[in-house]
Homo-oligomer: A and B are copies of this chain.
Amino acid sequence: MHARGNQKILELLKSKIRNIPDFPKKGIVFRDITTLLSDREGYRMTIDAFIKRYKAMDIDLIAGIEARGFLIGGAIAYELRKGLVPIRKKGKLPYKTVSHEYALEYGTDCIEVHIDAIKKGDRVLIIDDLLATGGTSLACAELVKKLGGVIVEIAFIVDLPDLGGRKKIEEAGYRYFSLVEFEGE
């Protein structure tokens, strides 16, 4: 679901996200969250909006998706007193891993997690900064499932609903959450 509650706060968060036209290619408006994160009020309110949603839920681990998911996953894990698990690009983790390959617009990508990072039955909240087509998020969900983890929800700061990721996540049977959305992408 899209965040409800204090619309004024969510509008404020949205206003602190920088729009960069024609990045990474012509016709795309890139939503740059770094301006939100480097703003001390913006960062605090962003994390607090996630805490508000998740503080009463049964969660064991926060899984952050490399690299921007790491920027928010840690603060959420800290405040909720959970462990933090990095999901990384292939070849970055030093111990034994399970991996999952997934299709990109051109070619494939591969993500990994340590085999002992998630135990059977662990309840995992997956965190990333932005939801576009949903390819990476769904690959992370597959990884968590390979280790027997239960996916509580997949959560983002920004959703670009016109790119179809939300729909794909829901069709795959997962719960979805975002703080703000930009339509008409």
User: Most chain-B Cβ atoms within 10 A of its Cβ — which of A24, A43, A74, A92?
Assistant: A74
Q: Do the beta carbons of B30 and A117 come within 8 Å of each other?
A: no
Docked-complex contact B83 and A39, CB < 8 angstroms: yes
Chain A, interface residues (CB within 8 Å), range: 35 or more
Distance in angstroms from A144 CB to nearest chain B CB is 13
Q: How far is the CB of A8 from chain B (nearest CB, A)?
A: 20
User: Which of chain B's residues have a CB closer than 8 A to the CB of A93?
Assistant: 34
A61 on the interface (CB 8 Å rule)? yes
Contact residues in B for A156 (Cβ distance below 8 Å): none
Task: Report the bound CA distance from A92 to B20 in whole Å.
Answer: 14
Given contacts A71-B74, A78-B43, contact A84 B24 (CB under 8 A): no
Max chain B Cβ within 10 angstroms of own Cβ: one of A61, A78, A86? A78
Q: Min CB distance, A152 to chain B, in Å? A: 15
Evaluate contact between B78 and A77: CB separation under 8 angstroms: no
Asked whether A83 and B43 contact (CB < 8 A) given A30-B94, A78-B75, the answer is yes
User: Which of A62-70, A101-109, A131-139, A171-179 makes up part of the contact surface?
Assistant: A62-70
Given A34-B117, A47-B78, 9 other A-B contacts at CB below 8 A?
A18-B95, A20-B95, A23-B94, A30-B94, A34-B86, A43-B82, A67-B88, A71-B73, A74-B74
